[in-house]
Amino acid sequence: MSELISSPANKLIKEVASLKQKKYRDNLGMFIAEGLRTVEECAASDWPVQLCIYTEAVATRERTRRVLDRLTAAQCRMVIVPEAIYNKLSDTEQPQGIMVVLKKRQTTITQLITSNNKESLIVVLDGIQDPGNAGTIIRTADAAGCTGVIILKGAVDIYAGKTVRATMGSLFHLPVIEGIPPEELIAGLKSANVNIFATSLQKSDIYYQVDFKRSTAIILGNEGQGVCQELIDKADACLTIPLVGQAESLNVAVAAGIILYEAVRQRATL
């Protein structure tokens, strides 16, 4: 059964509204995933949904009704709100009338590496700030069959609304670790005998000349500054993508796709 909440002063509504701010997402360990496509992907995953908030109007649509029924069957708390309240909870310009609230999930580097029975392929985001770039990289990592994604301390908040939407549901398909310091990353990867490759424009190997068949972590750097020197110094190799034309550089999400699919190509021959 769904419950109706019509007061903006309701405690639950205030708590959900607070999740638009990072400090409250961190304090409560919760985040919002909004939009029908994102909610569908979430409901189809094994990520438990705590709460679904939706409007009466959106519930009349057959596609939305199917995902609402699925969430109800999974014992999710279902709440109907007036459109005016929903719009205050939403952080999109054109709200779709449905969102879910979820608990963050965190794993360790060791668990990430040992969670599968094949050679790991991990993407590391160092200092990337743009939610669109981060979300696209997570989506690409999902498509390329990566083991998981690690977000280093100081990079974009993957649980911000824009980032969650940019993943197009891939956030729910593969493990993501956030807030890891560089030294912890290096220690964890080296102890597990994982190759560390950092992208760089200087003193680098061309990306298709390195061996991706062993367990590998690929570090992608900040949009303006690239990978930090500390990580470059600790990397087993630095990778570059040849620029044939006059462009100064590639978008980091594009670079991620190029490198990851070279790894996919190499591993397909195993």
pLDDT of residue 21: 96
* 229-252: pLDDT as tens digits: 999 999 999 999 999 999 988 999
pLDDT of residue 107: 87
User: For the chain, what percent of residues have pLDDT higher than 90?
Assistant: 87
pLDDT of residue 16: 97
pLDDT of residue 270: 62
Contact 14, 94 (CB under 8 A): no
Strands 98-103, 49-54: pairing kind: antiparallel
pLDDT classification of 106: cutoffs 50, 70, 90: confident
Q: Is the whole model's pTM more than 0.85, yes or no?
A: yes
Which residues make up the CATH 3.40.1280.10 domain(s) of the chain? 109-268
Q: How far is CA 161 from CA 1, 210, 240, in A?
A: 27, 36, 31
Architecture (CATH level 2) of domain 109-268:
3-Layer(aba) Sandwich (3.40)
Sheet of 98-103: strand order equals: 3-4, 77-80, 49-54, 98-103, 30-34
Q: Is 231 left (phi over 0), alpha (psi -120 to 50) or beta?
A: alpha
pLDDT of residue 42: 94
Q: From the CB of residue 168, how many other CB atoms can be counted at a distance below 10 Å?
A: 17
pLDDT of residue 117: 65
Q: Which of 114, 110, 162, 153 is nearest to 134 (CA)?
A: 162
pLDDT of residue 269: 72
Terminal Cα distance for the chain, rounded:
51
* C-alpha–C-alpha distance, residues 240 and 242, integer Å: 6
Contact 221, 252 (CB under 8 A): yes
How confident is the prediction for the chain on average, in pLDDT? 94
10 versus 94: the higher-pLDDT residue is 10
pLDDT classification of 204: cutoffs 50, 70, 90: confident
Mean pLDDT calculated for residue range 172-183: 93
* 21-64: pLDDT as tens digits: 999 999 999 999 999 999 999 999 988 899 999 999 999 999 99
* C-alpha–C-alpha distance, residues 56 and 40, integer Å: 18
The per-residue DSSP string of 75-141 comes to: T-EEEE--HHHHHHH--SSS--SEEEEEE-----HHHHHHTSSS--EEEEEES---HHHHHHHHHHH
For residue 206 the two structure tokens come to: 């061309």
* 111-135: pLDDT as tens digits: 888 766 679 999 999 999 999 999 9
pLDDT of residue 41: 94
Residue 203 in this model has a pLDDT that exceeds 80: no
Strands 98-103, 30-34: pairing kind: antiparallel
Q: From the CB of residue 46, how many other CB atoms can be counted at a distance below 10 Å?
A: 7
Mean pLDDT calculated for residue range 142-163: 96
Q: What is the helix (H) or strand (E) element at residue 259, kind and residue range? A: helix 252-268
Is residue 186 helix, strand or coil? helix
Which residues make up the CATH 3.30.1330.30 domain(s) of the chain? 3-103
Identify the CATH class of 3-103. alpha beta
